[in-house]
């Protein structure tokens, strides 16, 4: 159900949210809604290929097997997360964040302009922006 009219907002701003909404289909739904309700938009997300995963602040966490990620979460406080005592909860946390690469992110926002935020020469995050004014 649509709660807002098309182009109801001058700008839609989203900072590190799209990787939390679910799988790629849900990310696509979010992107379509952002572009529908806003005359312009500015959406940021961390880069899948940045070596430090930003939510867990752990090197290459996003590429580790799920069993290792769960073990780390149940044995250590990582990034924004305290040590998790429940293994099922740790599994949900470890699999809940769906980082995007540049191609997939741009595919969500056809026609958008892209800015790459750099850290020591590596792309830390992507920002897409566009306007339909």
Question: What is the CATH architecture assignment of 9-53+97-133?
Answer: 3-Layer(aba) Sandwich (3.40)
Residues 43-79, buried b or exposed e (16+ Cβ, 10 A)? bbbbbbebebbbbbebeebbebeeeebbebbbeeebe
Residues 6+ apart with CB under 8 A from 97: 19, 20, 55, 62
For 49-103, write each residue's pLDDT tens digit: 999 999 999 999 999 999 999 999 999 999 999 999 999 999 999 999 999 999 9
pTM over 0.85: yes
CATH 3.40.50.150 in the chain, residue ranges: 9-53+97-133
């Amino acid at each position: 159900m649509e709660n807002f009219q098309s182009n109801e907002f001058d700008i839609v701003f989203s900072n590190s949210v799209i990787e939390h909404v679910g799988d790629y289909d849900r990310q696509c739904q979010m992107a379509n809604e952002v572009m529908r309700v806003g005359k312009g938009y500015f959406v940021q997300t961390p880069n899948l290929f940045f070596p430090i995963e930003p939510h867990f602040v752990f090197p290459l966490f996003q590429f580790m097997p799920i069993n290792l990620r769960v073990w780390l979460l149940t044995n250590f406080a990582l990034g924004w997360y305290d040590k998790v005592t429940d293994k099922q909860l740790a599994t949900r946390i470890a699999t809940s964040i769906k980082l995007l690469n540049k191609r997939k992110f741009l595919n969500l926002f056809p026609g958008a302009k892209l800015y790459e935020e750099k850290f020591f020469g590596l792309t830390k995050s992507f920002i897409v922006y566009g306007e339909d004014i």
